[in-house]
Chains A and B, each alone.
Chain A
Amino acid sequence: MSTTAKERTDVERDRSARISERKRGWGEFLLDQRAFVALIVLVIVFSLLSDNFLDPSNLVTMTRHVAYNAILALGMLLVITTAGIDLSIGSTVGLSGVVAGLLLQGWELSLFDTTAYPAVWVVVVISLAIGAAVGALNGILITRFNVAPFIATLGTMYIARGAALLISDGATFPRLQGDPALGNTGFDFFGTGRPLGIPTAIWIMVVFAILIGLLMTRTRFGRWVYATGGNERAADLAGVPVRVVKMRVYMISGVCAAMAGLIIASELTSAAPQTGNTFELNAIAAVVIGGASLAGGRGTVKGALIGAFVIGFLSDGLVMVGVSSFWQMVIKGLVIVLAVMLDRGQERLKEARAAAAAAQSLRKDLAAATPPSTSHHER
């Protein structure tokens, strides 16, 4: 057999394999796009059950609710793609809100016997930096001290929540609109502003999604994130700075959480230390529904966004239809479990199909090949 002929048959085989993949039919396609299908189904069901579900104003409201969960999910996506987990983001939401509240209410500098009222942009930068710092703490624990991500971020979850309660003494910072006399107005922009008629929170979600999407798909860093989660040892041997990658994803996750905290505090124009409790679980659910693997290496921004929309629309839709909040929890739980079951099912389907194909080709080869030399067996 000449080499070129072999090449040609191989190329043809590759091509036909890809075509047959395309031909696998609608069932497979729907399974593949299951998060999107679930979202469509939710929209159809709720629009039938509730007259104003499809009202543009309702859709905007629901999307605004989705926005901060989506931002959290985007940070979580990066972490989960490296095969990590970040349980601290809910607490970081609370901490960043409280820090913003403290600064807007006036920061007493006893050393100078004065109270500082920083401008809103300074408040935002400091709050986001606090989020990055929590992420950095996670990163240090995980990369320098080899603490398992689950445990490290469980610890920082308590630490950040405790810090938020300490700063606020357990109380809520009210009236964060600021005072024109002090030059610190404008914080409510994140929660109530509507540039071009669309709430600021949605704009922020879109910007974060585009930035993280570009990061994941276009940059070297994005490749490193997938490589670290896909096979950490291989990435390390190939010169990928695995520790730096992990450090950064936790910091980005922390910044996303702090941003979500600012949005919530701004919407309420008040900051409570308990804000964000269990938000990390919603984010994990969104990422998993979006097709990411908790084992790492697999996950997309599109998927995480759709996952956040599924969870958000499901919650709001159930409220609109009047399902009791107890049943809401049960239904949400079932959706999450179903998503993971479908994911496993799809994986197993792929594996079974591949094994069957290999066995098939082996039988063909055995039938075609001349019988192997039996000289050794004659004994």
Chain B
Amino acid sequence: MSDVVMRAQSVSKVYGGTHALRGVDFEVRAGRVVALLGENGAGKSTLMKILAGVEQPTTGRLELDGEPVRFESPSDAVGRGVAIIHQELNLCPNLSVADNIFMGRERGRAGFVDYAEQRELARALFERLEEPIDPRRPVGELRLGQQQLVEIARALSEDARVLVMDEPTSALSAAEVQVLFRVIRDLTAHGVAIVYISHHLDECLEIADDAVVLRDGAVVAQAPMRDVDLSWIVEHMVGRDQSDLYAPMAFAPGEPLLELRDVVVADPENAGRLAVRGVTLTVHEGEVVGLYGLMGAGRTELLEALAGRNEVVSGEIRLAGTPLTGLSIAERIRRGLALVPEDRQRDGLVQALSVGRNLSLAALGGFLKGLVLNKRSESAAVDRMMSAVRVKAAGPDAEIGSLSGGNQQKVVVGKVLMTAPRVIVLDEPTRGIDVGAKADIFALMAGQAKEGRGVLFATSEVEEVLHAADRIVVLSRGRVAGEFDPRTTTREDVMAASGESLDDPTTNGGRR
């Protein structure tokens, strides 16, 4: 077809040692919506960032209107008519809505800003989005969904010919999604090309004209959307059977160990909003519970509340019958509840300390002899743990930075195990680690459960809950959206529960 506005030709991207994209060819056509589909880590966001000038391709090239282009920066791309709505919100909470929309492209003359004009333009944009947000309000005061609309308004104000939307609806209500879809149809009617990414596959089916599926950084399938259905998408997204990756299940649950009742947690990033809106669930002895949910479902916030890092607004958490309310992180660890955090670089490891020092960090109390650390018992315990979690390192004195991501993660898990927990809570334990280390981590989790401990892990990858959990709990918008037995359920069921179904009355009312 001749209406190709933008084209990526055999684009590859290498980060460190990993191939995020391998020779991707991708076309964007005027007046059409192309949905870019794939699991986490398939390379969708990388491709989007390259299209929008945030990243440069390692090899390969971009074409705009048939001419090769190189975007030096996002604003360079915007100057040539390619805009992006980022997955993460990129807003300044201290500035007003109008200031954020025109940030970097302020209206006015001679360096002075014409605030009145900006306010008027912003107001018109929100009229189009059917959400009357006062352009003068500071963005930090808006709820998450409104902040996302500010991002969308900003992209609209750029009058792009190619508009890249990376998870534009992750914080929108069903009604707001429908408004966005009307805006998208209006844009395509005027010849704008849209690249659309969403975890919500039903959204892609509804709005997109074409489907392109990425897996492991390569395009594995593409077709007009009218020729495909949900199972076609999921089949190509998941690809090969991954069941050999996961340890066999040994489910013999005992007494309830960890009980949550109507737990409500405030959103630590956005004052005045709730991340978890009444979650009730139980983890038994010897059980691995998988918590599945999309971005913004409240997984991390819930787990950090369990560990004592986030404040619980209401509801109750009990560990082996004792309420944990008001206990500090250290006291919770002592009582047997420990968290493997989502971001191991930031929250899990002390880069300046060696592998051994990191391992023993949370359990130093056990090696105290009076006021002095007993180095010999410490290093003996460190050696035992290093072989137990199968860390591949030169020795306990190796630098943390010298380890691969998977081995770093094993150190974090080992650190938690050294505190002799009764319940182990893991947040995205396999993020950014290779397949072999993934298998090791899941084997470790299963092994801990076999010894009678409770394991609760959160993930955004369906395959992981289906294969590594004894029971699946799906979170959506801060609530439990369903519970499944992995032996009898399908990934479609789990994915469907995690997405917001359009006719669910509770999601709409609950967000206002």
Contacts and interface: CB of A to CB of B under 8 A. Distances in A.
Say whether A associates with B: yes
Interface of A: 3, 7, 10-11, 14, 218-224, 226-227, 229-231, 233-235, 237-240, 297-298, 350-351, 353-355, 357-359, 361-362, 365-366, 368-370, 372-373, 376-377, 379
Interface stretch (B208-216, B267-275, B399-407, B460-468): B267-275
A11 B94 CA distance: 22
Nearest to B266: A355
Contacts of B273: 354, 358
B482 interface: yes
B145 interface: no
A362 B264 contact: yes
B99 A223 contact: yes
A237 B512 contact: no
A362 B94 contact: no
Given A297-B95, A379-B483, A379-B485, 20 more contacts: A10-B131, A218-B112, A220-B108, A230-B92, A230-B93, A234-B103, A237-B54, A238-B75, A238-B154, A239-B73, A239-B78, A297-B92, A350-B271, A355-B266, A362-B277, A362-B510, A368-B509, A370-B505, A376-B474, A376-B497
B272 A358 contact: yes
Contacts of A7: 130, 132
Given A298-B94, A369-B506, A354 B271 contact: yes
A234 B112 contact: no
B396 interface: no
A237 B73 CA distance: 8
Interface in B431-454: none
A297 B94 contact: yes
B482 A220 contact: no
A227 B504 contact: no
Ranked 6 nearest A-B pairs via Cβ: A354-B272, A239-B75, A376-B482, A230-B92, A239-B104, A234-B90
A351 B140 CA distance: 11
B106 interface: yes
Nearest to A295: B94
Contact of B90 (A238, A355, A361): A238
The listed residue with most A CB atoms (<10 A of its CB), out of B89, B93, B104, B137, is B104
A226 B104 contact: no
B510 A223 contact: no
Interface in B43-96: 54, 73-75, 78, 86, 89-95
A365 B509 contact: yes
Contacts of B89: 234
Interface string B484-512: 11000000000001000000111001101
A220 B107 CA distance: 8
B483 A376 contact: yes
Nearest to B268: A351
Contacts of A235: 92, 103-104
B205 interface: no
Contact of B111 (A10, A219, A377): A219
A207 B36 CA distance: 56
B193 to A, nearest CB: 21
Nearest to A371: B506
Contacts of B99: 223, 226-227
A368 B272 CA distance: 20
Contacts of B264: 359, 362
A358 B264 CA distance: 10
Given A237-B90, A359-B274, A379-B483, A223 B314 contact: no
A369 B277 CA distance: 14
Contacts of A350: 271
Contact of B92 (A220, A231, A353, A379): A231
A230 B95 contact: yes
B479 interface: yes
B483 A365 contact: no
A373 B479 CA distance: 12
Contacts of A355: 266, 271-272, 274, 311, 313
B183 interface: no
Contacts of A219: 111-113
Interface string B287-330: 00000000000000000000000010110000000000000000
A370 B112 CA distance: 52
B105 interface: yes
Nearest to B311: A355
Contacts of A298: 94
A223 B505 contact: no
Contact of B132 (A10, A221, A297, A368): A10
B394 to A, nearest CB: 30
The listed residue with most A CB atoms (<10 A of its CB), out of B78, B94, B509, is B94
A138 B47 CA distance: 37
The listed residue with most B CB atoms (<10 A of its CB), out of A233, A235, A358, is A358
Contacts of B274: 355, 358-359, 362
B151 to A, nearest CB: 10
A354 B274 CA distance: 10
